[in-house]
Amino acid sequence: MPAMTGSENRVLVTGGGGFIGGHLVAELLRQGREVRSVDCKPLSEWHQILDGVDNRVLDVSLLDACREAVDGVSEVFNLAADMGGMGFIEGNKALCMLSVLPSTHVLMAARDAGVERFFYSSSACVYAAEKQQTPEVPALKEADAYPAMPEDGYGWEKLFSERMCRHFMEDFGFETRVARYHNVYGPEGTWTGGREKAPAAICRKVAEAAISGSGQIEIWGDGHQTRSFMYIDDCVQGSLMIAEGPRVDPINLGSSELVTINGLVDIVEEIAGVKLERNYKLDAPQGVRGRNSDNALIQETYGWEPSISLREGLEKTYAWVSEQVQKQLASSSA
């Protein structure tokens, strides 16, 4: 295959200043792609700023900004969204719904610019809540998104935007691909401030307890709620595979390794070499009681499944989060 040049090699990542976006940009660079990364946050707040990237601060909720962003690119990865962990999602439903603006405008601008392929990052939050009411929940199949009753706010926006991608392909012949992310975690992510997800939050709390010697940890909920968590490297590789692949309907991208929140704490405690007294905050946001990814379709279509175990991923994540906690403590005491 001849090497791609010019606009044929140029790819846009929206939400490139975020956690997943930053890792995706880094991998695209490693593959020799010419990358444009855009985000509405100031550059100083981006998770990663990489050399050799066309980094632009643009608000892609605005159509004109989207047109600037897609100019001269052949492929788009749309990861732009206002989101965070359960504490943020449950308390900011309107802000999460407003992510329909970048979802819509990036899609419109990409179609009008003649972009060859469009990838949209959806979420497991699209799944019907009635199928996630027990910790022993059966793994969620792609068809379980309907009849629709997704997570309020964030889940509705994601499901609506999935449908837009589908209809843009049906009506305009615009090639779109959709992956439903299941709880992505890893280094260089949000680890404090209210938008962090469970793995980063647990790593931070354990690190703080280990450093301070407090011997205690606060856990949201009763600890019996279940989830599966996908390490960032698997998320990036799966996203690239799906973006270039044949499957046009939304497909799960997640680990099928189910764990309770208590089990997640157990693993991080073992990594840190501590054992903590657990204080359960039963009135904290918890989300659904159980959620797991059914990976039959991705195995059938691509012969692929995430390869990094929860233990391995948490070892890398804890090392990074613990370093951030130590830096923060050193800075505050200076």
Judged by phi (left if over 0) then psi (alpha if -120 to 50, else beta), residue 105 lies in alpha
Rounded CA separation 151/219 (Å) = 22
How long is the chain?
334
Structure tokens at 74: 């052949």
In this structure, which amino acid lies at residue 7?
S
Output the CA angle 158-67-95, nearest 5 degrees. 35
147 upstream amide cis, omega within 30 of 0: yes
List CB contacts of 172: < 8 A, sequence separation 6 or more: 111
Rounded CA separation 189/23 (Å) = 10
Q: 40 with 98: CB under 8 angstroms?
A: no
Residue 280 is a catalytic residue:
no
Count of CB atoms situated within 10 Å of the CB of 172: 12
Helical H segments across the chain, by residue range: 19-30, 63-70, 86-91, 93-97, 100-112, 154-172, 198-212, 232-244, 261-272, 296-302, 310-333
Give 185's strand partners: 231
Rounded CA separation 153/45 (Å) = 25
Catalytic residue among 120, 127, 146, 154: 154
Positions marked catalytic: 154
